[in-house]
Structure 1
Amino acid sequence: MGRLYRGSGKTMKIARSLLPLTMLLLSGCVVGPDYNAPDTALPGKFSEAAGKSAGDTTLNPWWENFRDKRMNELVSRGMNENLSVLQAMERITEAQANVVAAGAGAWPQINGGGSATASGSDGSLLKRQSTTVLADGTVIPGSSHTQSRVASGNVGASWLLDLFGQYARSRESANASLDAAYDNVNVARLAYLSELTTTYISVRFFQEALALNRENLASRRETLKLTQDIRAAGAASSLDVVQAEGLVNQTLAELPPLETGFYQSANRVATLLGVPAATVTPELIRAGSQPYPRHSTKVGVPADLIRNRPDIRAAERTLAAATAEIGVAESQLYPALTLDGTIGAARTLSAVSGNLTSWSFGPTLTVPIFNGGALRAQVDIADSVAKQQYFAWKQTVLNAIEEVENAQAALIRDYQTVAALRRLVASNEEALSLARESYRGGASTILDVLDAERNVANSRLTLASAIRSLASDYVALNVAIGGGSAIETPVPTPSPNRKVASAAAATQ
């Protein structure tokens, strides 16, 4: 007993000496590269803008600069009803659950089970048959009969120690993916804002084009009547009347395609609002003026895009997640230590009854020795994916800069085009008035009037189209700088489950 006591003392000393090493192993060392935010060389300013930062544009309701109440109402109605936005918001829930799942492995896994069984046998025996003797001496042959009942239960626990940061990197990856999910909501919202406003601009363009064509139709019918009156007076030919009639019919043929364009655009607006097509047509059937921006847009500098463009932020977070996955793959190259333990109890009720309790506890060390290079290949794959995500991030940045440059260049020249077309329309309208007066006086032919009418109609439609392009390019520029992308977007506050996962991370 003395030797046993001294041996136990040595064991305690060894345990004390190994305790710091054990704690070090339990704290683990996180393998894999630590993430650093990517960087790329950007110009100090855009080509046709002042080199001054625009600040935070994500909360700027730029569509209000059109001063169109109907547009503002539609944007507000669909902000959280657009199906693409709703899908992106639901993916936040999925990403939050992934954070919990990624952190769950760092906690001990405890499982319990139980069972109850009954068994027995019944039958006659040829030999050694049991008998029963009654009080009067009567002998009753016996039969073989056995029965037993067994109830058992067990509890097992297993804890895979995160020695090399597998779960730490998994949580890091999952949290980065959650951040990307929030940013992707803004990407979907920005796409919704872009398509809804440009589609609404198309609705108003087709209405304006229809109104102009109806005005042209009335004007050409007036010219036809004038030609018929002059022919009745003997000063015009039948050819003049036929030419005037042809222009009327041409205008009539131009109306149906414009009506089709209006209804298709109105139906698209309904779909973007998450309601069946044609449900908003009655609201839009009443004509309104073409949207025209009342204020210019502060473009800022290229560096602003890094924080204001949600697709750039999402790409950066995806890169962070991919970088963490390198550590997850690399941790598989190292040994894994698992602490396992079980406690079981059983109770037997039979001819021989009793209780039985058992337990076991001990570590299990798993060391990868030979796997044909599969584990190393997984590291190489994760590393390649991270590099691809870096290139994708850089491409997203460059595309964003190009979109801003293109939209700004177009918008500047759109203003110039609209101003010139307004002057052209005024000149053509005056020329038409002079041509009619001259035709009434017999100083010119009907062709002069018809040409003047054609010029007026074409220039008016061209002006309406130019205003449509200007408004669309204004939308494109604000979308390109990330304007309004964060309005009514859920704040990325950790859910209770995510807080649990974060607490688990803090204990590692």
Structure 2
Amino acid sequence: MRGHVGARQAKSRGVSSFFRAAPMLVVLVLGGCTTVGPDFKRPEVALTENWGAKGDPRIATQAATDSQWWKAFNDPTLNHLVELAYQQNLPLQVAGLRIVEARARLGVATGQQYPQVQAAFGNVTAQGISKNAANVSGLDTHFVDYQVGFDAVWELDFWGRYRRGVEAESDNLLASVADYHSALVSLTAEVARTYTVIRTFEVLIEQARENERVQQEGLQIAESRFRNGATSELDVTQATTLLESTRATIPQLQIGLQQARNALSTLLGQPPGMIDELLAGPRDIPQAPALVAIGVPAEMLRRRPDIRAAELIAAAQCARVGVAKADLYPSFVLFGSVGLQATSGAGGSFNLGDSLFYSIGPRIRWPFFNYGRIKNGVRVEDARLQQLLVGYRNAVLLAAQEVENSLAGYLNAQETVVFEQRAVSAAQRSVVLSVVQYREGAVDYQRVLDAQRSLLQQQTNLAQARSSVATSLIALYKALGGGWESSQDQPVVAEPTLDEMKQRTNWGEMLSQPSAPETKKSPEPAKH
């Protein structure tokens, strides 16, 4: 009995000694923690201080771009369509759900900084040994083993592996937010562009029908002169050819109009044919404002969410280089297991309450035999980082190119409208004069045909030029990255979707409340 008690006291002293030393070990290890891998630095990209259209009276570079730029067209229908698209567009909802996914991934990465294994266990094992196999007298050949306890394993973040993982997922989360804003920019521009296309087709159809009416009058004049013997049947056939040719363009224009309507329906998350009431109102091509504010190139870097996303994706990859480098060094693990274990023999009795067992201690793991493979893994991550850094520079240059292209298109399309308007006025006058002269017999019908063909072409050119002004301005605002700021306080997931997800899974506040990284103010872009 004394020996049993002494053993138990020795065991107790060993346990208490270790538990007194364990906190000191943790402090020593954590005190020496460091973070390996590079820290992210935004790549430098050279940009001009001003756009190429500096000095043009139609462009203001001193003022910032309007965040609700579509309202500059002063079209209530367009304003309503953009608002509906924000609420109903399905790809935008997918982008919002990716933010929710990124929040959850960040939660997983954050949890990795704490004991990675925390598990309670329990088992009952029945075992039996034949008497011939045991070959020992007095040994229980049939018994049951009972265990219940708790396991914990904590790999200390000595080299910053898990901190870098949190850093990567934080940047990924912010990148998903930037992608959502980029989807908003694209959606706004696409709704405005598609609406402009619809109005352009409506104007072209109306012009074609007006020309059909004018050409019908010309055919009646030709038929009257033919009946009176003043001209040949050739005038009638030529007038008929032009009239039917004009009529043939109308169904083709209607095809384009219906396709544009269907595209707008999809943008609004509606089946085709459900938006006719939304398009009621004046059928005219949106008018661009007289003065457009575009800011300066440096402002574009702050506004364009796709550039911000490219930067954040590169930052996340930079953190992954650190995660990979941490594998080059030994890992320090604290592990422990504590529980109760008892075995019942043939008699069937056991005492689980006085059957404590434990296992606790530190462990070091260093896979130096895999050193070459690990180094190549670091090289893989570093190569991916460099690709993203170069991609960021290219994204900035492409963005600047898009702005300059759209700006040139917008300004030159405005000049084209002026010239086309003069051409239409002249063509209309030519039709009137040619018809009068033909009725009086001063010219043949070929002059009338030429004048009417020219009028139809010039009217089409004018409508397309006006449409080009609007679409070029839309492309310019899209290139500048405008349109997402007004939605910053709006939920990224629609209410019906929230209810559906909550019925399946306990999301807590993750669906509606932004996580800490999202609430941080984005840093201003560096001067380039």
**TM-score range for the pair, normalised by the shorter chain length:** 0.7 to 0.9
Contact 1:116–1:150 under 8 Å retained in 2: yes
Alpha-carbon offset, residue 80 of structure 1:
2.9
Q: Does 1:208 align with 2:203?
A: yes
Q: Does 1:65 align with 2:72?
A: yes
Q: Does 1:353 align with 2:360?
A: no
Contact 2:423–2:458 under 8 Å retained in 1: yes
Which of residues 303, 308, 326 is equivalent to 1:308?
303
**Cα separation, partners in 2 of 1:33 and 1:448, compared to 1, 3 Å:** same
Q: Does 1:116 align with 2:124?
A: yes
Spell out the pairing of 1:11-22 with structure 2 (5 A cutoff).
Answer: 19=24, 22=27
Spell out the pairing of 1:147-166 with structure 2 (5 A cutoff).
Answer: 150-166=145-161
**Cα separation, partners in 2 of 1:114 and 1:362, compared to 1, 3 Å:** same
Alpha-carbon offset, residue 275 of structure 1:
1.3
**Cα separation, partners in 2 of 1:269 and 1:426, compared to 1, 3 Å:** same
Alpha-carbon offset, residue 462 of structure 1:
0.8
Alignment correspondent of 2:84:
77
Which of residues 184, 190, 194 is equivalent to 2:189?
194
**Residues 293-339 of structure 1, C-alpha deviations (whole Å, 9 max, x = no match):** 12432222211111111110000101110111111111110010000
Contact 2:174–2:518 under 8 Å retained in 1: no
Q: Does 1:471 align with 2:470?
A: yes
**Cα separation, partners in 2 of 1:380 and 1:500, compared to 1, 3 Å:** closer
Task: Point out the more displaced range, 148-157 or 233-242.
Answer: 148-157
Alignment correspondent of 1:260:
255
Spell out the pairing of 1:172-251 with structure 2 (5 A cutoff).
Answer: 172-251=167-246
Spell out the pairing of 1:443-454 with structure 2 (5 A cutoff).
Answer: 443-454=442-453
Helix, strand or coil: the match of 1:421?
A: helix
Inter-partner Cα distance in structure 2 for 1:319 and 1:174: 12
Alpha-carbon offset, residue 449 of structure 1:
1.4
How many percent of aligned residue pairs carry the same amino acid? 31
Contact 2:64–2:295 under 8 Å retained in 1: no
Q: Does 1:382 align with 2:390?
A: no
Spell out the pairing of 1:323-402 with structure 2 (5 A cutoff).
Answer: 323-350=318-345, 351=347, 352-355=349-352, 356-371=355-370, 373-402=372-401
Inter-partner Cα distance in structure 2 for 1:465 and 1:121: 93
Inter-partner Cα distance in structure 2 for 1:215 and 1:357: 98
**Residues 94-143 of structure 1, C-alpha deviations (whole Å, 9 max, x = no match):** 11111111121110131111123567999xxxxxxxxxxxxxxxxxxxxx
**Residues 343-401 of structure 1, C-alpha deviations (whole Å, 9 max, x = no match):** 02024455252332100110000112211611101111111111111111001100000
Contact 1:335–1:368 under 8 Å retained in 2: yes
Contact 1:103–1:501 under 8 Å retained in 2: no
Inter-partner Cα distance in structure 1 for 2:433 and 2:393: 60
**Cα separation, partners in 2 of 1:499 and 1:215, compared to 1, 3 Å:** closer
**Cα separation, partners in 2 of 1:207 and 1:180, compared to 1, 3 Å:** same
Task: Point out the more displaced range, 410-419 or 80-89.
Answer: 80-89
Helix, strand or coil: the match of 2:293?
A: coil
Spell out the pairing of 1:277-288 with structure 2 (5 A cutoff).
Answer: 277-281=272-276, 283-284=278-279, 288=283
Which of residues 101, 110, 115 is equivalent to 1:103?
110
Helix, strand or coil: the match of 1:303?
A: helix
Q: Does 1:91 align with 2:88?
A: no
Alpha-carbon offset, residue 341 of structure 1:
0.5
Alignment correspondent of 1:168:
163
**Cα separation, partners in 2 of 1:147 and 1:385, compared to 1, 3 Å:** closer
Helix, strand or coil: the match of 1:79?
A: helix
**Cα separation, partners in 2 of 1:407 and 1:456, compared to 1, 3 Å:** same
**Cα separation, partners in 2 of 1:74 and 1:358, compared to 1, 3 Å:** same
Inter-partner Cα distance in structure 1 for 2:372 and 2:329: 14
Inter-partner Cα distance in structure 2 for 1:53 and 1:357: 77
Q: Does 1:38 align with 2:43?
A: yes
Helix, strand or coil: the match of 2:487?
A: coil
Inter-partner Cα distance in structure 2 for 1:116 and 1:78: 60
Equivalent position amino acid for 1:251 in 2? T
Alpha-carbon offset, residue 285 of structure 1:
6.9
**Cα separation, partners in 2 of 1:158 and 1:214, compared to 1, 3 Å:** same
Contact 2:201–2:254 under 8 Å retained in 1: yes
Q: Which runs of 5+ in 1 are unaligned?
A: 123-144, 503-508
Alpha-carbon offset, residue 218 of structure 1:
0.5
**Cα separation, partners in 2 of 1:329 and 1:452, compared to 1, 3 Å:** same
Inter-partner Cα distance in structure 1 for 2:79 and 2:517: 41
Alignment correspondent of 2:525:
none
RMSD of the TM alignment (CA)? 3.1
Helix, strand or coil: the match of 1:44?
A: coil
Equivalent position amino acid for 2:261 in 1? A
Inter-partner Cα distance in structure 2 for 1:156 and 1:54: 64
Inter-partner Cα distance in structure 2 for 1:335 and 1:52: 59
Helix, strand or coil: the match of 1:275?
A: coil
Equivalent position amino acid for 2:53 in 1? E
Inter-partner Cα distance in structure 1 for 2:327 and 2:265: 51
Q: Does 1:427 align with 2:421?
A: no
Alignment correspondent of 1:29:
34
Alignment correspondent of 2:316:
321
Task: Point out the more displaced range, 318-327 or 281-290.
Answer: 281-290
Task: Point out the more displaced range, 43-52 or 256-265.
Answer: 43-52
Inter-partner Cα distance in structure 1 for 2:518 and 2:402: 39
Contact 1:53–1:304 under 8 Å retained in 2: no
**Cα separation, partners in 2 of 1:53 and 1:465, compared to 1, 3 Å:** closer
Helix, strand or coil: the match of 1:80?
A: helix
Inter-partner Cα distance in structure 1 for 2:26 and 2:153: 21
Inter-partner Cα distance in structure 1 for 2:427 and 2:60: 42
Inter-partner Cα distance in structure 2 for 1:112 and 1:425: 85
Number of aligned pairs?
A: 470
Alpha-carbon offset, residue 433 of structure 1:
1.2
**Residues 429-480 of structure 1, C-alpha deviations (whole Å, 9 max, x = no match):** 1121111221222211111112111111111111011111111001000111
TM-score, normalised via structure 1 length: 0.85
Alignment correspondent of 2:524:
none
Alignment correspondent of 2:268:
273
Helix, strand or coil: the match of 2:87?
A: coil
**Cα separation, partners in 2 of 1:311 and 1:239, compared to 1, 3 Å:** same
